[in-house]
Amino acid sequence: MLLAGSEDDPIVRAYIAALRQELEQLGWIEGRNIKVDYRWARADADRFPVLAKELVALQPDVIVAVTTTAAIALKRETTGIPVVFVNVVDPIGSGLVASLARPSGNFTGFIHFEPSMASKWLEMLKQVAPPLTRVAILYSDKTLPSHGLYVRAVEAAAPSFAILPIATPANDAAEIERAIDAFAREPNSGLIVLPDATPVVNRDLIITHAGRNHLPAVYPFGFFVRDGGLMSYGVDAIDRYRQAASYVDRILKGAKPADLPVQMPNKFELVINLKAAKALGLTIPQSLLVRADEVIE
């Protein structure tokens, strides 16, 4: 497994546990009939090529690549070892597969987000903070190569909400802190955090500074909200890892990645933190609460 996060992150450990549990259900038990080697990029873009080379040198039967950056790094190293990707956006545009239905090469897997989610994120922000007129789109251009798709999607949807979107790349903790603090100086501002390894690794910092600056924010994963963020809407990431395990199982039993279609997300969750809303002086409308999969009080 080539992972974008850190080995001490409990969220990443939960994802790995979900994959391992599903593999066990399918008969693959680590230490008995399967060996798993892990490499951790820790949201450092320079580590991905090095770690990809290390894993390919081991000549494994299959590699699980987490994030587009990880998958692209592996694509440069191997055209023969099967790779199942998770948390990838635009695998066709990234050159990983020829098509979703017929990947054709040694890569297949599970798409994480569609850029069309941008409209939903903007709608949520406008619902909880009607005076909102500008929004920062936070991401790292080093660990989210597909950021342009999201930025363009937000820009396309923003006029219907009377919001000015501002792309805000930040590649490390210091840049994130400066970007949020500077953006929040203007009134009626909000924040969209894109699904990217850098914000995930720095989520505590983002949540803290968004709250300190009274900046309503929408996140891509529920764990941001469980850690104190305002609200999130996105795919059920745990479910994606369980599905990835099913593809690993099929490949270990002889299936070819080219014959396993790339899967679109089909399970989403809306999480809202009422405590965070109260701290920001916001009222969550009932129309949003009734649709929530989880409400934190």
Interval 68-99: pLDDT, tens: 999 999 999 999 999 999 999 899 999 999 99
Please give the torsion angle defined by the CA atoms of residues 206, 171, 52 and 86, in that order, rounded to the nearest 10 degrees. 40
Q: Do 60 and 37 meet the contact criterion of CB atoms below 8 Å apart? A: yes
Q: Residue 43: its pLDDT value, please?
A: 92
pTM listed for this prediction: 0.92
**Does 145 share its domain with 287?**
yes
Percent of the chain with pLDDT over 90: 92
Count of domains observed in the chain? 2
**Does 22 share its domain with 147?**
no
Domain of 291 in residue numbering reads as 117-234+269-296
**Does 281 share its domain with 159?**
yes
Q: Do 40 and 7 meet the contact criterion of CB atoms below 8 Å apart? A: yes
**Does 155 share its domain with 222?**
yes
**Does 105 share its domain with 240?**
yes
Q: Residue 117: its pLDDT value, please?
A: 84
Q: Residue 112: its pLDDT value, please?
A: 83
CB atoms within 10 A of CB 77: 17
Rounded distance between C-alpha atoms, residue 116 and residue 231, angstroms:
18
Q: Residue 57: its pLDDT value, please?
A: 98
Placement of tokens 């040694």 in the chain: 106
Confidence of residue 127 (pLDDT cuts 50, 70, 90): very high
Q: Residue 146: its pLDDT value, please?
A: 85
**Does 36 share its domain with 54?**
yes
**Does 138 share its domain with 276?**
yes
Rounded distance between C-alpha atoms, residue 254 and residue 85, angstroms:
18
Q: Could you tell me the CATH number of the domain that includes residue 105?
A: 3.40.50.2300
Confidence of residue 48 (pLDDT cuts 50, 70, 90): very high
- What distance lies between CA 227 and its chain's CA centroid? 16
Strand partners, 233: 270
**Does 183 share its domain with 145?**
yes
**Does 180 share its domain with 273?**
yes
**Does 89 share its domain with 145?**
no
Q: Residue 101: its pLDDT value, please?
A: 96
Average pLDDT over residues 6-18: 94
**Does 224 share its domain with 200?**
yes
**Does 34 share its domain with 105?**
yes
